[in-house]
Amino acid sequence: MFGKIWKDKKQSPLSLSYTKEEILRHPIPEHVAIIMDGNGRWAKKRALPRAAGHYEGMQVVRKITRFANELGIKVLTLYAFSTENWKRPKSEVEYLMKLPEQFLTTFLPELIEENVNVRVIGNREQLPDHTRRAVEQAIAETKQNTGLILNFALNYGSRAEITYAIQSIAKQVEKGLLSPEDINEDLVASYLMTKDLADPDLLIRTSGEIRLSNFMLWQLAYTEFWFTDVLWPDFTEQHLLEAIAEFQKRGRRFGGV
Ligand code: FPP
């Protein structure tokens, strides 16, 4: 289906190279979600502090956002901070909380120019003021943009999201505004933080971990998964093309035949 060029054998004998043009000949996933993992290991391998891995990870966010936009992907959801990440050492949490601010201050003009629409899922109220302000400014300033939706999952946890949705629905039932029979899958989806977005078509997780870590449990029901050993700071445009090529080879039946 695609031109196959073997990469340097020493590097990865099984990986194929794809060009953007080859990938664009077939339907591409509209919504790509990524669990960006391996920043810490990347830093450790280089005897650097973990923060250096997160900083490098932020540069990759920029590169992949740009490329996703070029490919015509409609939504890119990035797991930037989970509700469980608060358990990390205080200094690391503080650093991670500075990243959205740093990213958005540095790259906001570029995101605006590239017509990117920034959004956030997750509990914003628990974020430090400086982080929340940066995120809200980016959301406000890119609100009119019609290109790629760059959706950060920030202080996001899927179980918390679903629990909150159930509470909200229960309150409506208690008030008599909904009856239990009104509760169907569409209604539940409309109470989730992703209510305005289609479900992801492709989920990527880097760093060799093969689990979901409380990420979009409802939304990933029919998503194609692609796992790679590559650490997030080493993730390139070529890896994204590889993931999409694999997606294009899979037949999605959504439970049908
Ligand atoms: C997981 O790697 C990564 C995170 C918890 C943070 C992800 C954040 C970024 C990639 C930068 C975010 C950028 C913006 C713009 C918000 P890890 O630290 O768990 O790595 P390890 O498993 O190797 O220790």
Q: Among 36, 66, 116, 228, which is best to mutate for testing ligand 1, by the most ligand atoms less than 8 A from CB?
A: 36
Q: Please give the number of the atom of ligand 1 that sits closest to the Cα of 100.
A: 16
For the chain, strand residue ranges (E) read 5-6, 16-17, 31-35, 75-82, 117-121, 149-156, 202-205, 224-227
Q: Read off the pLDDT of each residue in 74-90 and give the average, rounded to a whole number.
A: 97
Of 69, 85, 151, 155, which is the active-site residue? 85
Please state, rounded to an integer, the average pLDDT across all residues of the chain.
Answer: 93
Q: Are 187 and 233 in contact (CB under 8 A)?
A: no
A 10 A CB-CB count for 200 gives 27
Pocket of ligand 1 (CB under 6 A): 36-41, 54, 57-58, 61, 80, 85, 96, 99-100, 103, 152, 207, 232
What's the Cα-to-Cα distance from 211 to each of 8, 10, 103, 147, 199, rounded to whole Å?
29, 28, 27, 30, 18
Per the annotation, the verdict on 85 as an active-site residue is yes
A 10 A CB-CB count for 148 gives 23
Rg, Å, the chain Cα set: 19
Q: Which of 42, 29, 108, 124 is nearest to 68 (CA)?
A: 29
Q: Are 100 and 154 in contact (CB under 8 A)?
A: yes
Q: Residue 84 annotated as binding?
A: yes
Please report how many Cα atoms fall inside a 13 Å half-sphere around the Cα of residue 116, on the Cβ side: 27
Q: What is the pLDDT of residues 90-102, one digit of tens each?
A: 999 999 999 999 9
Q: What is the pLDDT of residues 24-68, one digit of tens each?
A: 999 999 999 999 999 999 999 999 999 999 999 999 999 999 999
Q: Residue 132 annotated as binding?
A: no
Per the annotation, the verdict on 123 as an active-site residue is no
Class of domain 5-156+200-249: alpha beta
Q: What is the pLDDT of residues 195-247, one digit of tens each?
A: 999 999 999 999 999 999 999 999 999 999 999 999 999 999 999 999 999 99
Amino acid (one-letter) located at 100: P
Q: Whose CA is nearest to atom 1 of ligand 1?
A: 37
Q: Whose CA is nearest to atom 10 of ligand 1?
A: 57
